[in-house]
Amino acid sequence: MRLWMLIIASVILSFISLFVGAIDIRPSDLLDWGSDETQIFLISRVPRLLAIIMAGAGMSIAGLIMQSLSRNKFVSPTTAGTLDAAKLGIILSMLFFTNATYIQQIIFCFIFTLIGTLVFMQILDRIKFKDAIFVPLIGIMYGNILSAITTFLGYEANILQNISSWLMGSFTLVISGRYELLYVSIPAIILAYLYANKFTVAGMGEDFAKNLGLSYRFVLNLGLTLVAIISTSVVLTVGVIPFLGLIVPNIVSLYLGDNLRKTIPHTMILGIVFLLICDIAGRIIIHPYEIPVNITVAVIGSVIFLTMLFRGRAYAK
Amino acid sequence: MIEIKELTKRFGKKNVVDKVSLEIQPRAITSIIGPNGAGKSTLLSMVSRLLDADTGEVLLDQRTVKKWKSEEFAKRVSILKQSNYTNVRITVRDLISFGRYPYSKGRLTEEDKKHVEQAIDYMNLHDLQDQFIDELSGGQRQRAFIAMVIAQDTDYVLLDEPLNNLDMKHSVQIMKILRKLVDELGKTVVIVLHDINFASVYSDRIIALKNGKLVKNGPTKEIINSESLREIYDMHIPVQEQNGCRICVYFNSHA
Amino acid sequence: MRSNQTKIIFLAVLAIICMLLYGFYDIKGGFDYAFPRRVIKIAAMVVTGIAISYSTVVFQTITHNRILTPSVMGMDSMYEVVQTLIYFFAGSMSIWVVNRYLNFGAAIIAMVLFALILYRFLFRTNKYPIYLLLLIGMILGTLLGSFVTFLQVLIDPVEYLSLQTRLFASFTNVKAELLYIAMGILLIAFIYGFQIMSKLDVMSLGRENAINLGINYDRMVMNILILSSVLIATSTALVGPITFLGLIVANLSYQYLATHKHSTLILGASLISVIALVGGQFLAEHIFELRTTISVIINFVGGIYFIYLLLKESRSAG
């Protein structure tokens, strides 16, 4: 697949995305600057598209970074407890830092996500048996444990429904003024691109990296920080979007190999295309209602992942 | 009496066992030999109803094996395959007691206990009887499973490469026990062997398979000679006689 | 080493203490009101505990492993899929919903089919390593779960409410009527199970050894898959999915009782389940005064125990 094909696909899908929804908006309506349609377009549709683009690109890149650093194809925010750590961080900050400002809460969440991911990397370090299948298993279980704590706290504070609807993973509530946090993922993605080669080298292991004169600790921590920034901003604004960081980089690596410099643009755009398709499908199927995007992504994503597990075992090694 | 008629098994397009017909001579040790992939284990599996044949049939006392009730068959024929599950927490004694399952369905009678005791004696497992099988070495475990089959007390005992994982001492020990089963208790033993010298020294008859086809079937003496062996293994194998045993010296032979 | 009989008696006493504590502790005022409700809850926990332990142990015997359980392989999600599909295609007024027996029967048949497919493709051939199976199972669970949510969004909101009451099961709102059905099923399962305990012992030696000893192995596997599905359907219908309970209690039972005898193993696992559920619920409700249901705690503890098991198993494998 060529990059330009992906770009064209994403442009067409973006266009469709702008004009699909509960309220019918035609391109011609936009000529009238003062019309209701234009207002809706600017307050809801454009932010929604931007949010999808940033979330799609961000989550895919986050997955790619984690896969290079751990040198395991199946490690991703979904399969390493990162998203669950972000969720737990949010509920903790809601419970214990009620008086803190929004920014302080965000910073707390971010730090918590970072710690959650670091803990997993620590566990990974201790495991002798670094099988492509075994590591994500541990990661999923680790995520389940964090999730159980979240549910527990949610029950006790009686805000379970509250958070589960909020963390649902949907672009329905994305309107102007509620998604801007996602912009922090843009510098993160740029940094990821600049450091791409170093992530690959760091993934080869500490000794290997040092031999090449690379500050292993710095690169590792930078990578995980970027993952945490992206994950936190996505979870806080649109909720949990599973599997994206897992399958998109894997599909790209199937046809393009593993040179990070080359794969990053593909991964980004394919992530966007994938998320756009899921979101548009969710809006069309039961129009004028909506199916939250995380459900569509989870159904399609788990099917793709299962196919990869069944067919690509040799490749995963 | 076990008769095999035109037995065939296909895996994919390949006939792994191809129209094999023969009779197993009672009260004797019959060894099945042949190169890798000749279909030895598959043949044994079909005879012991572990595997269904595609065509042909196996008769036990003139009745086709498919018509036998599985539990009745288990009182007449026993089979031991190479792969044995080891993740079960079970003591050697309990494992051997399972050999009595076809008779007592898990509730041991005095008669059953006597058989278990005998099997332990036979395989010399007194010291190990209370150990768990997952704590044993491969050879010890193999002996425990053979003891189970002995406790099963069937007329026919089929063994698929029972000497795998065993050192020389235990291999000889087991072959001697099989000999005793035949000579003293009148059992019929059919055994897949890799080492032709064990086949030569201990068996009464030899069946040779190659590419799924029966190539030789007869008394040991008629098979252990250079001509017949060339037919089976496609290599020159000199045979020397030592203390009345025919030994095949294939270690530095040329094809 | 204490004999297994002593150990079982010890577990039984502990289970009874838990039940008594839960039944009578701090029961003020409306005894007539509170007590029967507690008894129903205890009964539900006992039935669930036994059903899950039983189905997990027999499932692990026929699949020859100790980390895969019917729940982990997505069988309780399958129950929800069936119920949702029935609502989706037949509607809440159809006979498939109104008639409880028909509904339950349909769910069980679908689950048995699912279990058979799983078995045929995943377990029968030794093609897939155990960790891959586990990962497949978990992702399958996610897939089925998301598929259920997906269908639920599509269903008419009124229908959805009715479905919710059907699917939203927990120990706090056990339906007495369903409890009786469950007890009946358990009874039948036990009468059948009683005859096959010794066969199960033989089957744990593997397919070839079991056939050698005269077991009709493939038919037994089929029967046990059906048994296992029925039991899981029963417990899921009664109180909803409790993913890790089976895994924890089965493994604790193997470890504590160190035997191959299924009668002992299943009894032990059932008692441990009752202790975990009733005792845990007692602690959570009365001592720590939590709102959380016991399943959340079990999933938390279970997750940690699972990682421990995985690391232990991998060390012996690697």
pLDDT tens, N- to C-terminus, chain C (318 residues): 468 889 999 999 999 999 999 888 877 767 778 888 889 889 999 999 999 999 999 999 988 888 889 888 888 888 888 888 888 888 878 888 888 788 888 888 888 888 888 888 777 666 777 788 888 888 898 899 888 888 887 887 777 777 777 776 677 777 777 888 889 989 998 898 888 898 999 998 888 889 999 999 888 988 998 899 889 888 888 888 888 899 999 999 998 998 888 999 999 999 999 999 999 888 888 888 777 777 788 888 888 998 888 888 777 654
A308 to chain C, closest Cα gap in Å: 10
* Reported confidence tier of residue B8, pLDDT bands at 50, 70, 90: very high
Please name the member of B84, B94, B101 whose beta carbon is closest to the beta carbon of C206.
B84
Q: Would you say residue A315 has pLDDT above 70?
A: no
- Contacts across the A-C interface (CB distance below 8 Å): 104
DSSP output for C78-146: HHHHHHHHHHHHT-TTSHHHHSHHHHHHHHHHHHHHHHHHHIIIIISSTTS-HHHHHHHHHHHHHHHHH
Please tell me the distance from the alpha carbon of residue C178 to that of residue C238, in angstroms, as a whole number.
7
Using a CB-CB distance cutoff of 8 angstroms, which residues of chain A are in contact with residue C303? 141-142, 144-145, 148
Instruction: Report B:54-113 residues touching C (Cβ under 8 A).
Output: 70-75, 78-81, 83-85, 87-90, 94-95, 98-99, 101-102, 105-107
> Any CB–CB contact under 8 A between A157 and chain C?
no
Q: What is the mean pLDDT of residues A225-241?
A: 90
Instruction: Report A:99-138 residues touching C (Cβ under 8 A).
Output: 127-129, 131, 133-134, 136-138
Residue keyed to tokens 């498919």: B66
Contact check, Cβ <8 Å, C208/B102: no
Task: Share the mean pLDDT of chain B.
Answer: 89
* B with A: touching (≥3 Cβ pairs within 8 Å): no
pLDDT tens, residue by residue, A189-203: 999 888 888 888 887
HEC string of chain B equals CEEEEEEEEEECCEEEEEEEEEEECCCCEEEEECCCCCCHHHHHHHHCCCCCCCEEEEEECCEEHHHCCHHHHHHHEEEECCCCCCCCCCEHHHHHHHCCHHHHCCCCCHHHHHHHHHHHHHHCCHHHCCCEHHHCCHHHHHHHHHHHHHHHCCCEEEEECCCCCCCHHHHHHHHHHHHHHHHHHCCEEEEECCCHHHHHHHCCEEEEEECCEEEEEEEHHHHCCHHHHHHHHCCCCCEEEECCEEEECCCCCCC
Contact check, Cβ <8 Å, C64/B99: no
Task: Please tell me the predicted confidence (pLDDT) of residue B193.
Answer: 92
Please tell me the distance from the alpha carbon of residue A189 to that of residue A234, in angstroms, as a whole number.
13
* Mutant choice from B42, B66, B101 vs C, greatest count of C C-beta within 10 A: B101
> Any CB–CB contact under 8 A between A310 and chain C?
yes
Q: Would you say residue B114 has pLDDT above 80?
A: yes
Task: Please tell me the predicted confidence (pLDDT) of residue A314.
Answer: 45
* Reported confidence tier of residue A128, pLDDT bands at 50, 70, 90: low
Task: Please tell me the predicted confidence (pLDDT) of residue A22.
Answer: 73
Task: Please tell me the predicted confidence (pLDDT) of residue A188.
Answer: 92
Task: Share the mean pLDDT of chain A.
Answer: 85
Domains plus CATH for chain B?
2-248 (3.40.50.300)
Task: Please tell me the predicted confidence (pLDDT) of residue C112.
Answer: 85
Tell me the ipTM for this assembly: 0.85
DSSP annotation of A81: T
- A159-162 contacts: CB < 8 A, separation 24 or more? A159/A91, A159/A94
Contact check, Cβ <8 Å, C138/A140: yes
pLDDT tens, residue by residue, A135-153: 888 898 999 899 889 888 8
* Mutant choice from B87, B135, B141, B148 vs C, greatest count of C C-beta within 10 A: B87
* Mutant choice from A167, A246, A299 vs C, greatest count of C C-beta within 10 A: A299
pLDDT tens, residue by residue, B60-107: 998 998 899 988 999 999 999 876 666 677 889 999 999 999 998 878
Domains plus CATH for chain A?
3-73+169-316 (1.10.3470.10)
Task: Please tell me the predicted confidence (pLDDT) of residue C317.
Answer: 53
Task: Please tell me the predicted confidence (pLDDT) of residue B77.
Answer: 94
Q: Would you say residue A267 has pLDDT above 90?
A: yes
C143 to chain B, closest Cα gap in Å: 31
Question: Which segment, A57-71, A123-137, A198-212, C117-131, is predicted with the most confidence on average?
Answer: A57-71
pLDDT tens, residue by residue, A11-30: 999 999 888 877 777 788 77
Q: How many CA atoms lie within 13 A of B85 on its CB side?
A: 22
Please name the member of C64, C197, C198 whose beta carbon is closest to the beta carbon of B87.
C64
Q: What is the mean pLDDT of residues A106-121?
A: 90
Q: Which residue of A has its CA nearest to C290?
A: A156
> Any CB–CB contact under 8 A between C38 and chain B?
no
Task: Please tell me the predicted confidence (pLDDT) of residue A174.
Answer: 78
Please tell me the distance from the alpha carbon of residue A82 to that of residue C239, in angstroms, as a whole number.
30
Say if CB C240 and CB C296 are below 8 A apart: no
Q: Which residue of A has its CA nearest to C289?
A: A156
C197 to chain A, closest Cα gap in Å: 33
Q: Report percent pLDDT > 70 for chain B.
A: 97
Contact check, Cβ <8 Å, C213/B74: yes
Contact check, Cβ <8 Å, A291/C142: no
Contact check, Cβ <8 Å, B79/C66: no
Q: Which residue of A has its CA nearest to C149?
A: A295
Rounded to 10 deg, the angle between the A244-256 and A46-70 helix axes is 70
* Reported confidence tier of residue A317, pLDDT bands at 50, 70, 90: very low
Please name the member of B78, B87, B105 whose beta carbon is closest to the beta carbon of C212.
B78
Domains plus CATH for chain C?
4-317 (1.10.3470.10)
Instruction: Report A:240-269 residues touching C (Cβ under 8 A).
Output: 242
Q: Would you say residue A42 has pLDDT above 50?
A: yes
* C with A: touching (≥3 Cβ pairs within 8 Å): yes
Amino acid at A55: A
Task: Please tell me the predicted confidence (pLDDT) of residue B82.
Answer: 74
Q: Would you say residue A313 has pLDDT above 70?
A: no
Using a CB-CB distance cutoff of 8 angstroms, which residues of chain B are in contact with residue C260? 88-90, 94
Amino acid at A276: L
Residues of C with CB under 8 A from a CB of A: 129, 131-132, 134-136, 138-140, 142-143, 145-147, 149-150, 153-154, 290-293, 296-297, 299-300, 303-304, 306-307, 310-311, 314-315, 317-318
